[in-house]
C-alpha cells in the first residue's frame, strides 16, 4: 500500500495537517473511553478556525489531510467507520462546516463469525445529504442517533 503524497503549500496547510494528525490519534482513544454523546461533545470544536472567505480551500485541505491520517491509521491499526466519521466530523467542524453525525442500524442474517443480527454504520450528514457516502448504500440503515 502506497500513500499519496501530501502537499503543504503554506504554514496554514501545515497547521491543518498537524491538527488533523493529532485528532486522528486522539479521537479513537476518546471514543473508547466515553459514551457516544459525551465523546462527540468532547471533540466538537467550540468555534470555527476559518473565516468565511477561505472556507472552500481549507475544507478541501482538511478533508485531504484527515483522509491521509485515516489511511495511515488503517495501515497499522484497524479503523472503524465510527472512528473515521468522528475524525472527519472534528476536521470539518473546525473549518466551519456544520456537519452532523448519523449512526444507523440495519438487520442482517447472523454469519458464522458473529451472532449479531444487526450491523451498525456511521456517516456524516450536511443538511439532509450524506457527506462522502453514497446515498443508495445508506438506504438500508435506520438512523438511530444523530449528533448534534
6 within a domain of the structure (yes/no): no
Q: Rounded CA gap, 52 and 128, in Å? A: 22
pLDDT-derived band at 142, boundaries 50, 70, 90:
very high
Domain assignment present for residue 119? The answer is yes
Given a contact cutoff of 8 angstroms between Cβ atoms, the answer to whether 108 and 117 are in contact is: yes
Is the per-residue pLDDT at 137 higher than 60?
yes
Instruction: Assess if residue 48 is contained within a domain.
Output: yes
Q: Is residue 140 part of a domain?
A: yes
Asked if residue 2 is part of any domain, the answer here is no
| Whole-prediction pTM | 0.84
pLDDT at 3 over 60: no
* Contact by Cβ (8 Å): 136, 147: no
pLDDT digits (tens, 9 = 90+) for 90-136: 999 998 899 999 999 998 876 656 666 888 999 999 999 999 898 88
Residue 3 lies in a domain: no
Per the rule left: phi > 0, alpha: psi between -120 and 50, beta: everything else, 127 is left
For residues 80 and 21, the answer to whether their CB atoms sit within 8 Å is no
Domain count within the chain: 1
pLDDT band with cut points at 50, 70 and 90 for residue 1:
very low
In a domain? residue 5:
no
Tell which residue, 50, 132, 53, has the closest CA to residue 88. Answer: 132
Q: What is the pLDDT of residues 21-66, one digit of tens each?
A: 999 999 999 999 999 999 999 999 988 766 555 567 778 888 899 9
CA distances from 119 to 29, 39, 60, 131, 138 (A): 22, 21, 30, 20, 12
State residue 66 phi and psi, 5-degree precision. -60, -45
List the domain range (segments joined by +) for residue 111. 11-147
- Residue 95 within a domain: yes
CA–CA separation, 133 vs 22, rounded Å?
24
Amino acid at each position: 500500500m502506497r500513500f499519496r503524497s501530501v502537499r503543504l503549500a503554506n504554514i496554514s496547510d501545515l497547521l491543518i495537517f498537524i491538527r488533523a494528525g493529532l485528532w486522528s490519534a486522539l479521537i479513537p482513544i476518546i471514543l473508547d473511553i466515553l459514551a457516544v454523546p459525551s465523546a462527540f461533545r468532547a471533540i466538537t470544536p467550540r468555534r470555527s478556525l476559518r473565516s468565511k472567505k477561505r472556507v472552500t480551500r481549507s475544507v478541501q485541505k482538511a478533508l485531504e489531510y484527515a483522509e491521509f491520517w485515516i489511511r495511515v491509521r488503517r495501515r497499522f491499526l484497524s479503523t472503524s467507520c465510527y472512528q473515521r466519521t468522528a475524525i472527519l466530523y472534528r476536521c470539518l467542524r473546525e473549518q466551519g462546516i456544520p456537519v452532523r453525525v448519523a449512526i444507523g442500524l440495519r438487520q442482517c442474517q447472523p454469519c458464522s463469525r458473529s451472532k449479531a443480527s444487526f450491523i451498525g454504520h456511521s456517516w456524516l450528514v450536511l443538511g439532509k445529504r450524506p457527506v462522502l457516502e453514497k446515498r443508495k448504500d445508506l438506504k438500508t440503515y435506520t438512523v438511530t442517533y444523530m449528533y448534534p
